[in-house]
Amino acid sequence: MECRALPFRQLPHQSKLFIQFLDNFSSVKQFYGHPPTISSVKKAMRSYAYPRERRDEVTGILGQQNAAFGAGDVTRENLDRLRKGAIAVVSGQQAGLFGGPAYSVYKAVTAIQIAKELTRAGLDAVPVFWIATEDHDLDEVRVSTWFHEGKLTRFELPGNGDAGKPVGRIPLGLQVREMVHEAARILRAAGGELLAAIFEESYGAEETYGSSFGKLFARLFAEEGLILLDPLDAGLHRVGREILQKAVEDREELNEALLARGRELDKAGFLAQVKVTARSTLLFSMQQGKRQPIAVSGGKFVSGEQSWMKEELIRAVEAEPEKFSPNALLRPVLQDFLLPTAAYIAGPAEIAYFAQAEVIYRKVLGRMPVILPRAAFTILDAKAEKLLRRYGLEVEDVWRGSQELRRRMETSSVPPALGKKYDKTVKEGARMLAELKKQIVRLDPTLGGAVETAQRKIAFQLEKLKRKTGKAQALKAGLIAAHQEFLESLLYPHKVLQSRELCFLPFLAGWGMAGRKELETLARSSKLKEHKILRIP
């Protein structure tokens, strides 16, 4: 396995705050509790105390959940370690169809690796994955895009009638059967017989988005003992209801703090990820199976057609906490109340979220875990590597967009002998114009600029002619369009990074199940500030 590392600032679509977090943490430290290092985790956990009673309650619930997902012996051992006092390295993601985009796997792999590092350093730690089943954005999870035979294959379940429902409770339905059959065929064709069997065991028509995701990840990471958490569980809501109540009791103070943090971020030149207004709260309510935000209006808390005075809402949360859930800023705080979290493994957008959530952590929990970036990868196969070499390209060239990529491919397609003649002509032309310029400038110095303009135009036209020659050569061979589609589909699908769009399972099928272990070695804490380009078998 070959690997090349890039700094994140060389990748497209990276936020300014994320780059500063990685490259110059001191400039954003006021927005975070700790620097993003393993040493910070060790330091933060020296004085951390997690209540025994809460630990017993939560591990009991997690034991039931993971048994339902089909967790193996190593997960049960990790749950026992958690019950006895281990700390947690946590990550999480929406319950995406067929495991969601590849970075869901990268998050899990990073949590597993960091937990091992901490354990070796004397801090017993276990990996936990929070499946965001309460999220109600069905469009984010009902599509899975696969790279297959050089093209993009799209698997999509319908969304009609389920808008607004927590995705973890939505059944996949009969439509998934044909998709599973086709997807398993693709996995087997790539050599992933075991993976295809795991996949088929996880995705049935009777499963929900949440249960199928949990079953897939329980099987994928059985050897590593990844602990899965489904926050829709009513028992977890009861354990965490004091956090939900505090969001109501201290709503004014928390909202003012968030508005102030938004102004701080704006002054520093950063964008707030979550919009906060004077009417905002940190809660959603569950009504008729749908999740709706709670806002403040006319001195009341309002959600849809329902309204409460403050004390009424506090009592409602006390009585039925399962009917309420946190928003994106309170969710990690609730997570780290339920778990003895030492470190959270976050993606770039999440790291920006935490810059706002820090004020809630400080006021509600009095502590915040260390935030570490997830490992990030772009995967190349043999054909992609061959095409990049053929056209003299790097992955970064594909990220520059279709127009620039086509230009580079056309230029590189000029036959070598003809290309040398072009280059020789350009050099000779430049030399002749330089001599001509000397004579012209002696005659009239004001004409120097005109000669330089002529030089640029001639060079441009020769380059354009060379590109057209390459295009004609490539089109004659009937290859360039197909090669461009292959590279863009694999490396920049729909103009986003591969890890944000493509499912990881087809890559793993070709790589072999041992590929998880190889990813793990590249997710070490010392390597998390790099984006890695991998060449897999």
Burial of 2 (0-12, 13-18, 19+ CB in 10 A): exposed
Q: Indicate whether 491 pLDDT > 60.
A: yes
Q: What is the mean pLDDT of residues 399-407?
A: 93
pLDDT for residue 476 is more than 70: no
Measured CA to CA, the distance from residue 68 to residue 207 in angstroms comes to 12
H and E: helices and strands count for the chain: 23, 15
For residue 438, what are the contacts with CB-CB under 8 A and spacing of at least 6? none
Domains of the chain with CATH codes: 31-238+330-378+502-520 (3.40.50.620), 382-496 (no CATH)
Separation CA 393–CA 387 (nearest Å):
8
Q: How confident is the model at residue 250 (pLDDT cuts 50, 70, 90)?
A: very high
- Which token pair is 292? 């709706």
What's residue 428's pLDDT?
Answer: 62
pLDDT digits (tens, 9 = 90+) for 265-295: 999 999 999 999 999 999 999 988 899 999 9
Distance in angstroms (rounded) separating the CA atoms of residues 374 and 525:
9
Confidence of residue 370 (pLDDT cuts 50, 70, 90): very high
* φ, ψ of residue 272 in degrees (nearest 5): -75, 135
Helix, strand, coil content of the chain in percent (nearest 5): 60, 15, 25
Q: What is the pLDDT of residues 326-338, one digit of tens each?
A: 999 999 999 999 9
pLDDT band, very low/low/confident/very high, at 376 (cuts 50, 70, 90): very high
Quick one: pLDDT band at residue 207, thresholds 50, 70, 90? Answer: very high
Range 220-238 average pLDDT: 97
* Residue-wise DSSP of 86-149: -EEEEEEE---GGG-BHHHHHHHHHHHHHHHHHHHTT--EEEEEEE-TT---GGGTSEEEEEET
According to the model, what pLDDT value does residue 300 have?
A: 97
Helix ranges (H only) for 478-527 are: 480-491, 498-501, 505-511, 515-521
* Higher-pLDDT residue of 472, 256: 256
Using the structure block, give the residue that is written with the tokens 């508005």: 259
The confidence score (pLDDT) of residue 160 equals 74
Cα distances (angstroms) measured from residue 454 to each of 448, 449, 458, 460, 462: 10, 9, 6, 10, 12
Distance CA 110, CA 528 (A): 9
Four-point Cα dihedral 439, 444, 445, 449, nearest 10: -80
At 502-536, the pLDDT tens digits run 999 999 999 999 898 999 999 999 999 999 999 98
Its pTM stands at 0.89
Q: What is the pLDDT of residues 119-157, one digit of tens each?
A: 999 999 999 999 999 999 999 999 999 999 999 999 999
d(CA 199, CA 443): 79
Angle (CA) 142 143 147, round 5°: 155
Inform me whether the pLDDT recorded for 59 exceeds 70: yes
Helix axes 480-491, 402-412, angle to 10 degrees: 140
Strands 87-93 and 125-131, bridge-based pairing:
parallel
- Helix (H) / strand (E) containing 347: none
Do 492 and 399 contact (CB within 8 A), yes or no? Answer: yes
List the structure tokens of 499.
């890890």
What percentage of the chain carries pLDDT values higher than 90? 80
What's residue 462's pLDDT?
A: 64
pLDDT band per the 50, 70, 90 thresholds, residue 479 = confident
Angle, alpha carbons 333-244-134 (nearest 5°): 75
Please state, in angstroms and rounded to a whole number, the distance separating the CA atoms of residues 247 and 321: 13
pLDDT confidence band for 420 (50 / 70 / 90): low
Report the chain's mean pLDDT, rounded to a whole number.
92
